[in-house]
Structure 1
């Protein structure tokens, strides 16, 4: 039976975690999904400790959160133990419930400086970081890792044991190597192996996009929690749907009006949080995900991409959903969109602003 779990005294209920994604899980996106329900733990975008400890305004902005997001974890990345400790202390002072260490980002820009998944091949440095951070904070410390640096260097079990010895209180494993990036499929058998190797809670990440997929992963691995990232970009209700199924309820099915409303709400959250041009650009980046599977979704993405003002964005949303509701093709397209949604979901692309 799947049930809530605790990271020290913090209950993760339901046992579902919004996976951190650079350039995606900012405060607007997190709030949008938290309002839909079903998220047991929200996590910030991964934040550069170099920026944070040098008072970079962008890094400080990335650490903002709303009270209703709790429990809330701040994820940091870097390679210098002292800087990592300082950044963790700042996260605690800002009110975070948990500090999470990123050991999974595969972006060359991060790895070449020793951070992200680069730490998976430098375990003495990783140990120094974890022990230094553990000394600096009193709130729980967690870690997110990958299977290993390459297919020849699968060491997630070793890393998880090291983390537990250093006082880490939860391990999240994405079952791909740094070498894989986001290609192929996540290896959830490694999640099972890590769960069997340590006493602290273990959660798994990778390719969970459906209710059935989540339950299958729980059955196969015995893991405590599941992280969902890209699946939530395509379906903001996925957490609520899984929670409904956990409690024996009929999973919520969004209507066409729900999908229209979530787009408008997201755009409003963006505009409240950032300058107009930035909000428009972020809307272009993510809006298409919410219409995947609907007729004319590809044309809608194109129309949004070519919009250059708030009013144009609002007009395209209204035109699109009116056409779909009336059974008319949108801009001449009648087929249902089942294509992959192009977006900044690879760490290489998402880390460009780091």
Structure 2
């Protein structure tokens, strides 16, 4: 692996959310993470490389390494797809998704569903490690399917392969995003594996990130939902790592971030979808806004969710965000989108 800061930060892959437009937006909001992992390429017998996901690798705007994530369960097809990806020198390596908790994914014995079949995990890891050669081979996992007590056996499988990095979302597949993370389980991975371990889950601000690192001694942090809510979290974390006080975020900065994100996502929609429908794009933006404005103002959130037109949405955003009031560092504790982070503090 190339040299990374210690500790380092990683943008978590979130399907149809942390995509190329989001990467471009991060670069305009403080500089982004130290390492990037793409949304997953779906792998099956008829699969081809999704052009929009591949573009995030070939047009990588970050100046940092980017790893291609894949999701699937057939060893031959996964190797075929990895080989196609590795033809591109821009691809720093391959990551296998063993953590997605979506029922439609798990029912196909992929993502987090694979944690129910450790022999197949072993076969996949062996086949992909060989396929990657000198390039990075990394894994993103949950701590188990039903229970965190499954993690010991899973670590035994990981230890049999030369993994270059393990990202551990500190919840089980069944827990999805609704519980505190199992900090002690993540620490076990740090203690037992030779490769760098990255702690993932419930990093919503600098304090939760620093606490997660301190309790696990992980090599780095992976941030997803917290980065959507606050794209400045990566430079804030870097400042904290070097002993500096992170700068607070003003609502006006949040407004500018949303406007940039609108433009970048709209541009990508034209490029990869060959068309642009304003109402559909308003709905696309709500996927981000649900995270961004959670807890800022109940009336704001209520009206945002019911907006249908760009003009209506933008007027609302300017009314509530065009001021220098500071954005709270933490999201609301009772939010369904941010659950259990208080346990890290």
TM over 0.5: yes
Match of 2:139, SS state, is strand
- The partner residue of 1:228 within 220, 223, 226 is 223
**Matched ranges for 1:228-267 at <5 A:** 228-267=223-262
Write the distance in 2 (CA, Å) between the matches of 1:136 and 1:338. Answer: 44
Aligned length: 321
Partner residue, 2:53: 62
Match of 1:91, SS state, is helix
| Cα deviation digits, residues 20-64 of structure 1 (max 9, x gap) | 11232111222222432251111112221128x5237xx332232
Conserved? CA contact 1:176–1:186, under 8 Å: yes
Q: TM-score, normalised by structure 2?
A: 0.84
Q: 1:282 to 1:104 in 2, by over 3 A?
A: same
Cα distance, 1:340 vs. partner? 5.3
**Matched ranges for 1:1-354 at <5 A:** 8-11=1-4, 15-35=8-28, 36-50=30-44, 54-55=47-48, 59-65=50-56, 66-69=59-62, 70-94=64-88, 95-138=90-133, 139-151=135-147, 154-274=149-269, 275-277=276-278, 278-294=280-296, 297-322=297-322, 338=332
User: Which runs of 5 or more residues in structure 2 are unaligned?
Assistant: 270-275, 326-330, 340-345
Write the distance in 2 (CA, Å) between the matches of 1:23 and 1:340. Answer: 25
Q: Once superposed, what is the RMSD of the aligned Cα atoms? A: 2.6
User: Which runs of 5 or more residues in structure 1 are unaligned?
Assistant: 1-7, 327-336, 346-354
Conserved? CA contact 1:101–1:142, under 8 Å: yes
Q: 1:12 to 1:155 in 2, by over 3 A?
A: farther
Cα distance, 1:137 vs. partner? 2.4
Write the distance in 2 (CA, Å) between the matches of 1:92 and 1:286. Answer: 31
Cα distance, 1:261 vs. partner? 0.6
Conserved? CA contact 2:44–2:74, under 8 Å: no
Write the distance in 2 (CA, Å) between the matches of 1:110 and 1:292. Answer: 27
Conserved? CA contact 2:178–2:336, under 8 Å: no
Q: TM-score, normalised by structure 1?
A: 0.82
Cα distance, 1:143 vs. partner? 0.3
Cα distance, 1:97 vs. partner? 1.1
Q: 1:325 to 1:142 in 2, by over 3 A?
A: closer
